[in-house]
């Protein structure tokens, strides 16, 4: 439960903020702009092609009718002229067609009267292609010499040219846009498969990292990316997390070393100081009892001198274990205070309770049955014990007084003949 | 080397001039347009211009020692050029009141009588112009009789040359052909078509019609010679020769 809370910083990214979405949107946006430009270029190219087409088609149309038109002009034959003009006009896309004789008179004419001014753009694109004037020549007297007999003038209809251009260019534009868009879609897909998806895997693996145990993260397997930057990213991350893990491990080890007594395996003086301070402050805030027991092995110097240091160390370990076993509550603490001195912090314990615990410890140590021939009080190993307890005064700032009382009573127990428990008397 | 090149250039230039000059009509040169309208004017079997009026004009021009270019064209073009373009005349032109102010006139060079014709075997019964309504009548463009008949309210189907009309008559595309009597009978003889002359329409003198800007001095000289040729019987002799297909 706590785990997920801590992960809130790396919670799943909303889809619209995701890298894949951003990339897709950006790519498609670029594709849109590019395709527009490409479409316009294609339109321009098509317009050029269309210009050539229009010119060629019109010129071939004129070439087709020039013979007959010349004949009509030569004969000054209005019926034939009408036929020519009709034939040309009915081809469509023509605004006006006029056949004139060489005296400048109109022989035949057809035109549309629904001509509206066309757009500026169309004028720019096709305006210069609209008017065609084809002089008409005829070998009038059969000497092989052509003489002018008139002209045919043709004006193309800009609106129908524009219409067919729009139709064509719209198709070309749409196809161009679709082409570029298709490519963009492939690019998006390829990028997703090649980069975004493995990146997403890395992201998910990172979001699942347990900050208390970073070394055991679910290292993603990226398949084909082992040797590229993504692979390096993952292996680099792995090294980083592993290094972080070893740092945590070292920290834990140091903590252990700094709080545990190396010889006996129970808490050391430093841990005791911190623990007592914490518990004492709790007791002061809560105004409840806190008990403190000071213990000292009787005539331990003589024990050491006579049985040797190894035996002395064994003895200290045994006593420490025994005291610890006699104080099973998790809220209490047994520590080695130094040399052959031990202390015990008892939360929520009044003097009577502390005395009970002390008696239990005294009995348990006796039961260890460690013989001590050089003791001046007993033939077995014994303890002198001083006890203090009380509710901390709010005006006090530390457990100084409690410590002093316990220490004083231990001193009294020792000076009073050892192997005893003292729980009264002030320093 | 250089010299040869220069010579070649000069030859090219000369050739170009030769080619270009006849195409461009000299402002001073006078052109007599005419059409294929036998027996007044026509192309003979050898491709030479011939005809009653042609020969008369040639004789008059010989007398004056003037050379003109004679061009055989479709009637509408021949007539329109003379009407619109300086230096141009046209023959044989029937003199009518409508045409009178458009030209300077030299003649008369002969006369023309128009009639309505039909194929003999059709046995059409038509005695006057109004009988032609409802029938398909043919003539050719800018022809005086075509204009005359049209003005009387008869629809006339026009061709470029009158030769086409005898073919149309034979093929049944028209019922009646209005044409000059001499010309029609001449063509019918050549084409072996049996014509029935329905009725006479009109008659007119024929002239050389010239553009108003053609030199008046030249035209009065021409007129004087023509008058003389007619007075001394030469004109009549030419007429006989042509109608009997005699070369001079």
Is residue B19's pLDDT more than 60? Answer: no
Q: What pLDDT is attached to residue A60?
A: 92
DSSP E strands: which ranges in B5-55?
31-34, 42-43, 49-50
Task: Give the whole-angstrom CA distance, residue A154 versus residue A157.
Answer: 10
Residues of chain A neighbouring B71 (CB-CB closer than 8 A): 140-141
The percent of residues in chain B predicted with pLDDT above 90, rounded, is 68
Task: Give the whole-angstrom CA distance, residue A46 versus residue A33.
Answer: 20
Q: Given an 8 Å threshold on Cβ–Cβ distance, is A75 in contact with B74? A: yes
From the CA of A102, how many Å to the nearest CA of chain B?
Answer: 9
Mutate to test the interface with B, among A71, A75, A83, A103 (most CBs of B within 10 A): A75
Is residue B226's pLDDT more than 60? Answer: yes
Task: Give the whole-angstrom CA distance, residue A243 versus residue A252.
Answer: 14
Q: Is the dihedral of CA B171, B172, B178, B182 positive or negative?
A: positive
Closest Cα in chain A to B161: A75
Chain centroid, CA A100 distance in Å: 81
Residues of chain B neighbouring A75 (CB-CB closer than 8 A): 74, 76-77, 141, 160
* Mean pLDDT, chain A cut into blocks of 10 residues (427 residues total): 44 74 85 85 87 92 93 93 94 91 94 76 86 93 89 91 86 85 87 85 86 85 82 89 92 87 91 92 93 94 92 93 92 92 94 94 92 89 94 88 92 91 86
Closest Cα in chain A to B47: A142
Residues of chain A neighbouring B72 (CB-CB closer than 8 A): 141
Chain centroid, CA A332 distance in Å: 46
Whether ipTM tops 0.95, in short, is no
Residue A254 has, within 13 A of its CA and on its CB side, a CA count of: 6
Q: Given an 8 Å threshold on Cβ–Cβ distance, is A141 in contact with B160? A: no
Task: Give the whole-angstrom CA distance, residue A96 versus residue A154.
Answer: 6
Task: Give the whole-angstrom CA distance, residue B157 versus residue A135.
Answer: 29
Q: What pLDDT is attached to residue A43?
A: 84
Radius of gyration of chain A (CA): 54
Task: Give the whole-angstrom CA distance, residue A232 versus residue A225.
Answer: 9
SS (H, E, C) chain A: CHHHHHHHHHCCCCHHHCHHHHHHHHHHHHHHHHHHHHHHHHHHHHHHHHHHHHHHHHHHHHHHHHHHHHHHHHHCCHHHHHHHHHHHHCCCCEEEEEEEECCCCEEEEEECCCCCCCCHHHHHHHHHHCEEEEEEEECCCCCCCCEEEEEEEEEECHHHHHHHHHHHHHHHHHHHHHHHHHHHHHHHHHHHHHHHHHHHHHHHHHHCCCCCCHHHCCCCCCHHHCCCHHHHHHHHHHHHHHHHHHHHHHHHHHHHHHHECCCCCCECHHHHHHHHHHHHHHHHHHCCCEEEEEEEECCHHHHHHHHCHHHHHHHHHHHHHHHHHHCCCCCCEEEEEECCEEEEEEECCCHHHHHHHHHHHHHHHHHHCCECCCCCCCCECCEEEEEEEECCCCCCCCCHHHHHHHHHHHHHHHHCCCCCEECCCCC
From the CA of B159, how many Å to the nearest CA of chain A?
Answer: 8
Q: What pLDDT is attached to residue A405?
A: 93
Chain A: residues touching B (Cβ < 8 Å): 74-77, 79, 101, 103, 140-141, 143, 145-147
Q: Which residues are registered as beta bridge partners of A136?
A: A150
Residues of chain B neighbouring A148 (CB-CB closer than 8 A): none
The percent of residues in chain B predicted with pLDDT above 70, rounded, is 88
Q: What pLDDT is attached to residue A1?
A: 38
**Segment B101-121 mean pLDDT:** 94
SS (H, E, C) B184-202: HHHHHHHHCCCEEEEEEEE
Asked if B158 is an interface residue toward chain A (Cβ–Cβ < 8 A), one would say yes
What b-and-e string marks burial along B98-128, b requiring 16 or more CB atoms within 10 Å of the CB? ebeebbbbbbbbbebebbbbbbeeeebebee
Nearest-CB residue to B76 (from A76, A140, A146): A76
pTM: 0.62
Sort strands A106-111 and A131-138 into parallel, antiparallel or unpaired: unpaired
Closest Cα in chain A to B79: A76
Q: Measured between alpha carbons, how far is residue A97 from residues A107, A132, A136, A397 in Å?
A: 11, 9, 14, 116
Burial class (CB in 10 A: 0-12, 13-18, 19+), A242: middle
Task: Give the whole-angstrom CA distance, residue A301 versus residue A418.
Answer: 14
Q: Measured between alpha carbons, how far is residue A394 from residues A286, A349, A398 in Å?
A: 10, 18, 10
Task: Give the whole-angstrom CA distance, residue B10 versus residue B43.
Answer: 37
Residues of chain B neighbouring A140 (CB-CB closer than 8 A): 71, 73, 77
Q: Given an 8 Å threshold on Cβ–Cβ distance, is B76 in contact with A103? A: no
Q: What pLDDT is attached to residue B2?
A: 53
Q: Given an 8 Å threshold on Cβ–Cβ distance, is A145 in contact with B19? A: yes
Q: Which two tokens stand for residue A326?
A: 């006699």
Q: Is the dihedral of CA A192, A194, A195, A201 positive or negative?
A: positive
Q: How confident is the model at residue B9 (pLDDT cuts 50, 70, 90)?
A: low
Contacts of A59 (CB under 8 A, 6+ apart): A132
Q: What pLDDT is attached to residue A289?
A: 94
Q: What pLDDT is attached to residue A161?
A: 86
Residues of chain B neighbouring A141 (CB-CB closer than 8 A): 71-73
Question: Omega of the bond prior to B92 within 30 degrees of 0, cis?
Answer: yes
From the CA of A78, how many Å to the nearest CA of chain B?
Answer: 10
Task: Give the whole-angstrom CA distance, residue B191 versus residue B117.
Answer: 15
Q: Measured between alpha carbons, how far is residue B104 from residues A246, A387, B4, B26, B72 in Å?
A: 129, 164, 52, 20, 20
Question: Omega of the bond prior to B39 within 30 degrees of 0, cis?
Answer: yes
Nearest-CB residue to A76 (from B19, B22, B80): B80
Cβ atoms of A337 and A294 within 8 Å: the answer is yes
Asked if B73 is an interface residue toward chain A (Cβ–Cβ < 8 A), one would say yes
């Amino acid at each position: 439960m706590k785990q997920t809370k801590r992960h809130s910083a790396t919670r799943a990214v909303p889809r619209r903020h995701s890298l894949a979405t951003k990339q897709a949107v950006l790519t498609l946006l670029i594709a849109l702009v590019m395709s527009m430009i490409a479409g316009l270029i294609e339109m321009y190219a098509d317009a050029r092609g269309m210009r050539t087409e229009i010119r060629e088609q019109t010129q071939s149309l004129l070439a087709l009718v020039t013979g007959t038109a010349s004949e009509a002009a030569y004969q000054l034959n209005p019926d034939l002229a009408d036929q020519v003009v009709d034939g040309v006009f009915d081809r469509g896309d023509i605004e006006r067609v006029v056949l004139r004789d060489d005296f400048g008179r109109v022989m035949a004419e057809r035109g549309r009267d629904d001509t509206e001014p066309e757009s500026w753009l169309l004028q720019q694109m096709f305006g210069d292609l609209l008017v065609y004037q084809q002089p008409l020549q005829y070998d009038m007297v059969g000497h092989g010499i052509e003489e002018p007999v008139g002209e045919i003038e043709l004006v193309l209809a800009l609106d129908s040219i524009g219409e067919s251009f729009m139709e064509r260019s719209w198709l070309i534009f749409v196809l161009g846009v679709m082409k570029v868009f298709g490519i963009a879609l492939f690019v998006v897909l390829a990028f997703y498969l090649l980069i975004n998806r493995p990146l997403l895997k890395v992201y998910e693996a990172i979001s699942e990292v347990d900050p208390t145990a970073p070394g055991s993260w679910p290292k993603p397997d990226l398949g084909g990316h082992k040797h590229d930057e993504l692979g390096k990213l993952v292996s680099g991350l792995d090294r980083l997390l592993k290094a972080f893990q070893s740092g945590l491990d070292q920290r834990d080890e140091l903590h252990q070393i700094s709080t545990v007594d190396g010889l006996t395996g129970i808490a050391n003086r430093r841990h005791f100081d911190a623990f007592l301070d914490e518990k004492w402050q709790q007791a002061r805030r809560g105004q409840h009892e806190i008990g403190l027991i000071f213990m000292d092995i009787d005539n331990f110097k003589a024990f050491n001198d006579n049985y040797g240091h190894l035996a002395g160390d064994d003895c200290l370990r045994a006593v420490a274990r025994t005291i610890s076993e006699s104080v099973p509550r998790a809220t209490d603490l047994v520590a080695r205070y130094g040399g052959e001195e031990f202390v015990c912090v008892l939360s929520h314990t009044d003097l009577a309770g502390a005395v009970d615990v002390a008696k239990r410890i005294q009995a348990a140590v006796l039961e260890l049955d460690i013989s001590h021939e050089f003791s001046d009080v007993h033939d077995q190993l014994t303890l002198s014990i001083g006890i203090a307890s009380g509710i901390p005064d709010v005006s006090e700032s530390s457990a100084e007084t409690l410590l002093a009382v316990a220490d004083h009573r231990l001193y009294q127990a020792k000076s009073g003949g050892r192997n005893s428990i003292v729980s009264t008397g002030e320093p | 080397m250089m010299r040869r090149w220069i010579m070649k250039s000069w030859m090219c230039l000369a050739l170009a001039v030769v080619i270009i000059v006849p195409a461009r009509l000299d402002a001073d040169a006078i052109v007599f347009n005419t059409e294929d309208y036998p027996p007044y004017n026509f192309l003979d079997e050898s491709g030479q211009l011939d005809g009653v009026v042609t020969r008369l004009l040639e004789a008059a021009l010989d007398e004056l020692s003037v050379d003109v270019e004679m061009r055989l064209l479709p009637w509408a073009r021949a007539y329109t050029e003379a009407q619109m373009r300086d230096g141009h005349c046209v023959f044989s032109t029937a003199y009518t009141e409508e045409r009178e102010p458009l030209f300077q006139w030299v003649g008369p060079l002969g006369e023309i009588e128009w009639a309505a014709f039909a194929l003999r075997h059709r046995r059409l019964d038509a005695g006057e112009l109004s009988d032609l309504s409802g029938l398909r009548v043919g003539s050719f463009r800018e022809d005086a009789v075509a204009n005359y008949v049209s003005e009387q309210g008869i629809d006339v189907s026009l061709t470029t040359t009158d030769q086409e009309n005898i073919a149309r008559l034979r093929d049944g595309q028209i019922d009646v052909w209005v044409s000059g009597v001499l010309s029609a009978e001449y063509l019918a003889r050549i084409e072996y078509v049996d014509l029935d002359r329905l009725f006479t329409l009109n008659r007119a003198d024929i002239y050389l019609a010239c553009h108003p800007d053609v030199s008046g001095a030249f035209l009065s000289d021409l007129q004087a010679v023509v008058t003389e040729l007619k007075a001394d019987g030469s004109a009549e002799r030419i007429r006989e020769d042509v109608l009997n297909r005699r070369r001079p």
